[in-house]
């Protein structure tokens, strides 16, 4: 099993970038129209090639004010008073339009973000459509959701989303907001604004009333301005714990409702009776899915000592077979790191793993000669005090620790200020339930990892944030309850 | 018997199941509604607050791990003991709050324990879910206690308000550090005596008396506190407390903003939900 992987020749199988309908310039979406922003335009690049994809308008302070006012008008005059059954039909339309334009959105997402086309095609875009479809059905059933007979919306939601799942995060934010009767001003991430602006086009095609959804590209300053705007009633943020804390602090005393979905350092626990080959697939999915740019990534592998050597050998072999490269190639497993800044951060933390004495193993996969890429890396002999065991790397880097008893596994898993997700691998059902009960984390995957569904609430404990997205529990974030 | 000299009680803190004085040695005079001296209450310090958080953390695994049936019986037991000391609480609430309706307030406080006792084994049914995910997985979501909750009890309603704040926190398996009403702390300490002699494990509820404005910032910034209930927080420091809570991403309940609620109304599940996390568990289905 160990040693050099067998050599397989793959024929290139790239998706055509023409499918993305890439335009040279994108404008922001305010009050039902695409308009020029008065902020400094940004250039979004393809992280796999470092070439500029498009120029994108950004919002100034005045633009933010205009968008929030448009959202308020739409809320007061149209959306807030529309019967739920009618709202539902608009949201269903959006779901259908995403499904119709799936291929275009997937290619555009992979171009802008760097993620492999098989992931944008099979996960990001279909799950985004599913979120709209699921929440649409709630719009006229909110009285049955357990928040009283006639729960009211909050008003205007200011939403700021990250670059790791650009379209999917927009769906997670916009779908429940609209279903509950709120209007939205959303800021996509600076490096990945394109699919959110196609979603704006979809809102137009769905004939969504003007001002119900507004999309304002820009950097962190636009996000800060948006969440602090006096006309915003609710703030939803997905991103780093550092920025989440800043937002929570800046909203103190305003009475705005806040939900935060922040960072993580999830433990993925492998017990000695686990089916190791299956566990290896789950470990790989847990940390190398989306280049590890996942807040709930299984970035700390906790292996029972008695199977650690065997598991590590299998894991290294499997990781060495991952194909890294062109995100548009259907055979690519690991795409590009989203930005130079993120690549630098991954390198810096990886160097700290070296200098703190962990054993580094890097996949011998061939590396493209341009673009932002980082080879899958596994650190063993990791101690809990090391930075690579404590800090979120947000990249394809796995830290492996060992344990002897289930109690030790639980203690190590919970030894973090985060608490977003956890993984458990064992054949024993009672051990799964025992361990799951003890995980201080919002999502626990047993004998699987990184599963998402609009019906299943997602969100963190402790410094991984508060509030849930998905399921009945997720509606609370957008209702005045 | 009328010439008998009564035995006056020294009111102390309630931390980890014991009744210590404030480590600071400080006390403050508590008066009735007409300004007459009632007792010296302990004026808790930052260190007392930290001791209370440590006690609450220590009690958390046991209490959150107890069965819901067990927690329900323990809360019901509190109501039983409170009922037995009804007269004492009526006198104390009347003295503290200067109200004529003290009897109905105490009745409501006893009934509130009963109400929340009945919630312990129902909240997971009402707030949990089986998630019909689009794939071969069994997915379910359960509410779980968020951890250590620091609560600032209401300033006016010294017993009913206090019980309304504390009972939902412990009914759901959390442990609690509560700062009593600053000027009406005595019913809180007498309630501690009930808790200490009921089956509530030491450390599950910890009661601090003293200056709310002095203690609250330490609790709001304490890294081992998971949630902060601002019900009894003075308006002037509410925003500052929220800012401090952001340091470790605490859940903040802004109840009591703009005045104390009517505690006699049936509470609903809001206070239960405010101290619960949702945990979603997935497992594949297959043969």
CATH of the domain at A217: 3.40.605.10
- The answer on A271 and A251 residing in a single domain is no
C-beta separation of B176 from B166 below 8 A: yes
Closest-CA distance, B106 to chain A, in angstroms, reads 28
Of all residues in chain A, the one with the smallest CA distance to B128 is A473
Residues in chain B with CB shorter than 8 Å from the CB of A295 are none
Report the distance separating Cα A317 and Cα A378, nearest Å. 11
A5 within some domain = no
Active site (catalytic) residues of A: 261, 295
Calculate what percentage of chain A has a pLDDT beyond 90. Answer: 98
Is the per-residue pLDDT at A3 higher than 80?
no
Q: Which of A466, A464, A463, A422 is nearest to A444 (CA)?
A: A422
Q: Do A254 and A279 fall within a single domain?
A: no
pLDDT attached to residue A474: 98
Q: Is residue A456 part of a domain?
A: no
What string of H, E and C letters represents the secondary structure of B168-228? HHHHCCCEEEEECCCCCCHHHHHHHHHHHHCCCCCCCEEEECCCHHHHHHHHHHCCCCCEE
Does residue A402 share a domain with residue A366?
Answer: yes
CA B86 to chain centre: 20
Q: Check CB contact of A245 with chain B, cutoff 8 Å.
A: yes
Contact A451 B273 (CB under 8 A): no
With CA atoms as reference, report the closest residue to B149 among B45, B222, B87, B215: B222
CA distance A27 to A194: 10
How many residue pairs bridge chain A and chain B with CB atoms within 8 Å of each other?
121
Domain count, chain A: 2
Nearest-by-Cβ selection for B137 from A148, A448, A472 = A448
| Whole-number Å distance between alpha carbons of A220 and A233 | 20
Indicate whether A469 belongs to any domain: yes
- Residues in chain A closer than 8 A to B134 (CB atoms): 130, 453, 455
pLDDT band at A5 (very low <50, low <70, confident <90, very high): low
ipTM, interface predicted TM-score of the complex: 0.96
CATH of the domain at A273: 3.40.309.10
Q: All domains of chain B, ordered by start, with CATH? A: 27-284 (3.40.605.10)
CA quadruple B93, B98, B102, B105: dihedral, nearest 10: -80
A81 belongs to a structural domain: yes
A225 within some domain: yes
Are A83 and A150 contained in the same domain? Answer: yes
Print the domain residue range for A439.
Answer: 267-446
The b/e string for A425-441 (b: 16+ C-beta within 10 A; e otherwise) is bbeeeebbeebbebbbb
Does residue A437 sit in the same domain as residue A471? no
Over residues A376-420, the pLDDT tens digits come to 999 999 999 999 999 999 999 999 999 999 999 999 999 999 999
Q: What's the length of chain A?
A: 481
pLDDT over threshold 60, residue A435: yes
Percent of chain A with pLDDT over 70: 98
Is the CB of B239 inside 8 Å of chain A's CB atoms?
yes
Residues A311, A227 within the same domain: no
Instruction: Say if residue B31 is exposed, middle or buried (CB neighbours under 10 Å; 0-12, 13-18, 19+).
Output: middle
Give the pLDDT mean for A136-163.
Answer: 97
Domain match, A312 and A400 both: yes
Residue A25, judged by CB atoms within 10 A of its CB (0-12, 13-18, 19+), counts as: exposed
Phi/psi of residue A440, each to 5°? -90, 75
Q: Which residues of B touch A246 (CB under 8 A)?
A: 246
DSSP string, A424-459: EE-S-HHHHHHHHHH--SSEEEES------TTS-B-
pLDDT confidence band for A8 (50 / 70 / 90): low
Which tens digits make up the pLDDT trace of B98-128?
888 899 999 999 999 999 999 999 999 999 9
Asked if A442's CB is within 8 angstroms of B282's CB, the reply is no
Residue A348, token pair as written in the block: 């810096």
Contacts of A443 in chain B (CB under 8 A): 279-282
- C-alpha span between B232 and B214 (Å, rounded): 13
pLDDT bin (cut points 50, 70, 90) of residue A40 is: very high
Considering CB atoms only, which of B127, B239, B278 is closest to A442? B278
Using the structure block, give the residue that is written with the tokens 């279909």: A126
- Asked, for residue A6, whether it belongs to a domain, the answer is no
Q: How far is CA A251 from CA A40, A224, B119, in A?
A: 26, 10, 33
Tokens of B132: 């019909």
Q: In the block, which residue shows the tokens 């402790």? A: A462
Rounded CA-CA distance A246/A256 in Å is 15
**Sheet strands (E) in A278-376:** 300-304, 359-362
Asked whether residue A206 falls in the same domain as residue A329, the answer is no
DSSP notation for A321-333: T--BS-TTBTT-S
Shared domain for A119 and A148, answered yes or no, is yes
User: Which residues touch A33 (CB under 8 Å, ≥6 apart)?
Assistant: A210
Is A455 contained in some domain?
no
Contacts of B125 in chain A (CB under 8 A): none
Q: Is the pLDDT of residue A294 over 70?
A: yes
Is the CB of A451 less than 8 angstroms away from the CB of B282? yes
pLDDT band at A4 (very low <50, low <70, confident <90, very high): low
Which residue of chain A has the CA closest to B285? Answer: A447
Q: How far is A388 from B215, CA to CA, in rounded Å? A: 36
Place of tokens 């800043």: A246
Query: Are A421 and A264 contacting, i.e. CB atoms less than 8 angstroms apart?
Result: yes
Among partner residues B131, B246, B249, which is closest to A471 by beta-carbon distance?
Answer: B131
> Who among B132, B249, B278 is closest to A462 (CB)?
B249
For residues A360 and A406, membership in a common domain is answered with yes
* Dihedral (CA of A137, A139, A143, A148) sign: positive
Q: Are residues A467 and A416 part of one domain?
A: no
| A422 inside domain | yes
The span from the CA of A45 to the CA of A187, in Å, is 18
Q: Map residue A471 onto helix, strand or coil.
A: coil
Residue ranges in chain B whose pLDDT is less than 70: 1-2
**Per-residue model confidence (pLDDT) at position A10:** 86
* Chain A interface disruption, residue of B227, B228, B246, most A CBs within 10 A: B246
Residue A397 region by backbone torsions, left for phi larger than 0, else alpha for psi between -120 and 50, else beta: beta
Q: How far apart are CA A328 and CA A313, in angstroms?
A: 30
- Tell which of B137, B282, B284 to mutate to test the A interface (max A CBs under 10 Å): B282
Question: What pLDDT was estimated at residue A2?
Answer: 54
Give the span between the Cα atoms of B167 and B185, in whole angstroms.
Answer: 17
Cα–Cα distance between A51 and A44 in angstroms, integer?
9
> In angstroms, how far is the first alpha carbon of chain A from the final one?
56
The predicted pLDDT at position B106 comes to 98
Is the CB of A446 inside 8 Å of chain B's CB atoms? yes
* Coil/strand/helix, residue B53: helix
Does A294 lie in the same domain as A162? no
B57: contact with A, CB 8 A cutoff: no
Q: What is the pLDDT, as a whole number, of residue A30?
A: 98
């Amino acid at each position: 099993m160990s040693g050099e992987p067998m050599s397989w020749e793959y024929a290139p199988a790239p998706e055509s970038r023409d499918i993305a309908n890439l335009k040279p310039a994108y404008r922001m979406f305010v009050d039902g129209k695409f308009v020029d922003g008065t902020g400094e335009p940004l250039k979004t690049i393809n992280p796999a090639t470092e070439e500029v994809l498009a120029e994108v308008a950004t919002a100034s302070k005045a633009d933010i004010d205009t968008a929030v006012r448009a959202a308020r008008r739409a809320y007061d005059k149209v959306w807030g008073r529309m019967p739920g059954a009618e709202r539902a039909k608009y949201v269903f339309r959006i779901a259908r339009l995403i499904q119709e334009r799936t291929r275009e959105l997937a290619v555009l997402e992979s171009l802008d973000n760097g993620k492999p086309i098989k992931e944008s095609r099979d996960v990001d875009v279909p799950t985004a459509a599913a979120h709209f479809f699921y929440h649409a059905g709630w719009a006229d059933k909110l009285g049955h959701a357990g928040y009283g007979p006639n729960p009211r919306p909050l008003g205007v939601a200011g939403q700021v989303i990250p670059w790791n799942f650009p379209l999917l995060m927009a769906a997670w934010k916009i779908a429940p907001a609209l279903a509950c009767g709120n209007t939205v001003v959303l800021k996509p991430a600076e490096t990945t604004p394109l699919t959110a602006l196609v979603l704006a086009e979809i809102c137009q095609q769905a004939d969504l009333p003007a001002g119900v959804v507004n999309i304002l590209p820009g950097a962190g300053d636009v996000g800060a301005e948006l969440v602090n705007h006096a006309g915003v009633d609710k703030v939803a943020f997905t991103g780093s714990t550092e920025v989440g804390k800043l937002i929570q602090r800046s909203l103190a005393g305003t009475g705005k409702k806040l939900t935060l979905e922040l960072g993580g350092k999830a433990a993925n626990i492998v017990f000695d009776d686990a089916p190791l080959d299956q566990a290896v697939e789950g470990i790989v999915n847990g940390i190398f899915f989306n280049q590890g740019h996942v807040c709930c990534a299984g970035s700390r592998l906790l292996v029972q000592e008695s199977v650690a050597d065997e598991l590590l050998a299998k894991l290294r072999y499997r990781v060495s077979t991952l194909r890294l490269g062109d995100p548009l190639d259907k055979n690519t497993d690991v795409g590009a790191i989203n930005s130079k800044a993120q690549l630098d951060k991954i390198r810096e933390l990886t160097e700290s793993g070296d200098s703190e004495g962990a054993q580094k193993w890097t996949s011998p996969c061939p590396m493209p000669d341009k673009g932002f890429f980082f080879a899958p890396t596994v650190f063993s002999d990791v101690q809990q005090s090391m930075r690579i065991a404590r800090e979120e790397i947000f990249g394809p880097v796995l830290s492996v620790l060992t344990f002897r008893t289930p109690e030790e596994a639980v203690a190590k898993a919970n030894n973090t200020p985060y608490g977003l997700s956890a993984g458990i691998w064992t054949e024993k059902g009672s051990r799964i339930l025992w361990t799951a009960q003890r995980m201080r984390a919002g999502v626990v995957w047993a004998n699987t990892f990184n599963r998402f569904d609009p019906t299943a609430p997602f969100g963190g404990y402790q410094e991984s944030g508060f509030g849930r997205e998905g399921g009945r529990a997720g509606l609370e974030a957008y209702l005045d309850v | 018997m009328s010439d008998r000299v009564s035995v006056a009680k020294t009111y102390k803190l309630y931390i980890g199941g014991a009744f210590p004085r404030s480590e600071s040695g400080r006390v403050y005079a508590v008066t009735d509604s007409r300004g007459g001296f009632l007792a010296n209450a302990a004026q808790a310090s930052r260190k007392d607050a930290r001791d209370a958080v440590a006690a609450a953390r220590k009690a958390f695994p046991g209490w959150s791990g107890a069965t819901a049936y067990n927690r329900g019986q323990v809360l019901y037991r509190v109501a039983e003991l409170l009922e037995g000391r009804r007269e004492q609480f009526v006198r104390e609430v009347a003295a503290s709050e200067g109200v004529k309706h003290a009897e109905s307030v105490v009745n409501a406080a006893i009934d509130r324990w009963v109400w929340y006792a009945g919630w312990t084994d129902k909240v997971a049914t009402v707030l949990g879910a089986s998630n019909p995910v689009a794939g071969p997985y069994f997915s379910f979501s359960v509410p779980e206690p968020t951890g250590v909750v620091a609560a600032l009890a209401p300033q006016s309603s010294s017993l009913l308000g206090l019980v309304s704040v504390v009972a939902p926190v412990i009914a759901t398996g959390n442990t609690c550090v509560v700062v009593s009403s600053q000027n009406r702390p005595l019913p809180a300490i007498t309630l501690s005596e009930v808790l200490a002699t009921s089956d509530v494990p030491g450390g599950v509820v910890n009661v601090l008396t003293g200056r709310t404005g002095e203690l609250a910032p330490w609790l709001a910034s304490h890294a081992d506190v998971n949630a902060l209930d601002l019900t009894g927080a003075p308006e002037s420091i509410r925003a500052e407390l929220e800012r401090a809570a952001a340091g470790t991403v605490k859940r903040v309940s802004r109840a009591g903003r703009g005045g104390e609620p009517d505690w006699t109304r049936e509470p609903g599940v809001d206070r239960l939900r405010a101290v619960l996390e949702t945990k979603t568990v997935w497992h594949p289905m297959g043969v």
